[in-house]
Chains A and B, each alone.
Chain A
């Protein structure tokens, strides 16, 4: 068990979960108190001792699934018979149990889904995988491929339709109909999960748990590369960005409040000292007056970097209470101010949609033209820049071989307090092809490669609280 546990801890660490030695020992102690035969209990014990943040729960679940997959209960043959019987009861055309007996499976699946019978559903999932997935030992194919093969044969869409009709009360109201549809979708998702678990179990049996855990491993959400993320990963990022922004905002607000005390307030100190016979025991301070930076955000929203731009906007607006003013400009080859779409109480997704549809950011062909966009900014909106302004430009500096117009950026830089450029591209691709990062870099105060949420968060924090002076307080 010890070797097994340490293997599991290694896997967690490899997946990015920081597990300390003490925690591993705790896990070992915890296992003495739980029924190791019960998978539930095992998972609860390991989860409580090894994972200390909700952000890591997903990664833990994945690793656990790979390491502690169960072997099938009961014999395969008995299960086949059982399913065939069930299908016969359902009145399906049971035509024997050759490879083509998909109808049996579908009929049994329908029964299990309608009744919410988990045991039967598990049996169907096992049979479906063994008959339809066509898994071959040693074949280097991921689980998603096998899942696709099974689902293609089962045709869940039609099944969902049948289930909906079956579960629905006659003459349903609109609400009833929607609840039923949700319910059907939920049960189907349960079945898909059962399929995934079964495929995973067989992969583990074939290749060993460490190898499977490695292929299942996914980056933590803060480390997902924003420009190359898959659609599924982006959904995860989107779900994470709102809580992250909220956390950042409250952290900054707290630091601002508790950070440094202001200068000594002599008048109030003397007055309060009267209570203690003229001895100034309790010094009073003026409330600090923090400087709140003013931000102008110039965001390239052309296809290649649009996702990055929206996450930047979202974080900046989340901390806008800590800023005196935020103005946002979007550009592709023309530039338009989009500040009006954002505001207190406005739904952020809606605001972004309007930026995408209503802002006038296309001038000629809808390909990024940094030179023209920056030039247009200097001409049209230069009053936005004051000596207190922090200008942030986001984009990959790929100008499609147009004139980069560094003079415009120089004017912005000299008028603003500071100018930062955030580039979501890998640093080693800068200045290759049509990237003119090198030209702009001369002008900017700082240029950052920002590829994931973690770096983005750190940057926003740094801009809002520029330099942290050492805190000195009288106790």
Chain B
């Protein structure tokens, strides 16, 4: 799907996703090795966006499985359509059980869920398994067969092989350690906060009409904020929101007063806001 590592960046950039070298390399490798990618990193650095951008860049359909606590195989893999089976049983009253059993456990009665759908799709797709760290360890095990062999075993039906090789992206916020078995099957990509230069590019791409001067100030200020020890350092999406806010307010020159007034867009904890605002005042007193 990609020619070379160098071709990945412009392709993703056309989708509005600015990848750095490492991200581009891993995306390329995943394609060549047919391996899933486990994307890890703090919230709001564009993990989910990466999968969407890959789908967009390759023109593939995106199938998304949003994970949550309590997700089970009937929501992730497949489920038998009980109502339809019941109807069929009632319609077929009088026939031998052995005949009917053949009938009602066929693909017509199968409800496909995201994982099965991704595998059965005739065109290759991009499968996004979002926030995989939210499911229990047992459910994680369900995915292993899909991730390593791209197949699903259904006891009544046999093994369903993939007709096309999906590109799989898993994201994790790292709220728990994922199992070794899962990690072994994936390429690992840690996305941290971007460098100042990259964040400036992201801001300029994401916020149309943002003056370069302002983008520069914002990315430098945010980098400074992140280096302090906060309960929740600002994510990229929050700095984008902040840039939009400043633009909407018609701010040209970033100064202490403007920052103090709009800091709640960037930071979501009162103690964090107080700490950063306090730091600003100290700086003013010293300067």
Contacts and interface: CB of A to CB of B under 8 A. Distances in A.
Q: Do A and B come from one complex?
A: yes
Interface in A23-48: 23, 26, 29-30, 33-35, 40-41, 43-45, 47-48
Nearest to A57: B190
Contacts of B91: none
A51 B224 CA distance: 29
Contacts of A183: 220
A246 B256 contact: no
Contact of A247 (B29, B175, B180, B284): B175
B33 A44 contact: no
A20 interface: yes
Given A174-B280, A246-B175, A250-B176, A33 B29 contact: yes
A52 B176 contact: no
A63 to B, nearest CB: 16
Interface stretch (B19-27, B55-63, B159-167, B201-209): B19-27
Nearest to B197: A116
B33 A34 contact: no
B229 A349 contact: yes
A247 to B, nearest CB: 6
Contacts of B69: 254, 257-258
B97 interface: no
Interface residues of B, number: 49
B186 A34 contact: no
B190 A178 contact: no
B182 to A, nearest CB: 9
A175 B280 contact: yes
A33 B3 CA distance: 11
Contact of B32 (A22, A33, A47): A33
Interface in A168-190: 172-175, 177-179, 182-183, 186
A49 interface: yes
B188 A47 contact: yes
Given A173-B287, A347-B271, A40 B259 contact: no
A273 to B, nearest CB: 17
A44 B38 contact: no
B286 A174 contact: yes
Nearest to A250: B175
B270 interface: yes
A54 interface: yes
Contacts of B37: 48
B47 interface: no
A452 B286 CA distance: 40
Interface of chain B: mostly helix, strand, loop or mixed: helix
B25 A52 contact: no
Contacts of B280: 174-175
Contacts of A175: 221, 254-256, 259, 280, 283-284
Given A33-B32, A177-B287, A250-B176, A52 B186 contact: yes
Nearest to B175: A250
B261 to A, nearest CB: 13
Interface string B151-188: 00000000000000000000000111100100110111
A53 interface: yes
A40 B175 contact: no
Contacts of A47: 22, 188
A51 B254 CA distance: 41
A345 interface: yes
B188 A182 contact: no
A334 to B, nearest CB: 31
Contacts of A30: 29, 33
Most chain A CB inside 10 Å of its own CB: which residue of B180, B187, B259, B271:
B187
Report, nearest first, the 8 A-B pairs whose CB atoms are least far apart: A44-B25, A174-B287, A174-B284, A52-B183, A48-B187, A33-B32, A44-B22, A52-B188
Interface of B: 5, 21-22, 25-26, 28-29, 32-33, 35, 37-38, 40-41, 69-70, 136, 174-177, 180, 183-184, 186-190, 196, 217, 220-221, 223-224, 229, 254-256, 259, 270-271, 275, 280, 283-287
13 contacts: A23-B184, A44-B29, A48-B26, A53-B188, A57-B190, A174-B280, A178-B224, A179-B220, A182-B220, A186-B196, A246-B175, A254-B176, A257-B69
Interface of A: 18, 20, 22-23, 26, 29-30, 33-35, 40-41, 43-45, 47-49, 51-54, 57, 172-175, 177-179, 182-183, 186, 238-239, 242-243, 246-247, 250-251, 254, 257-258, 345-347, 349
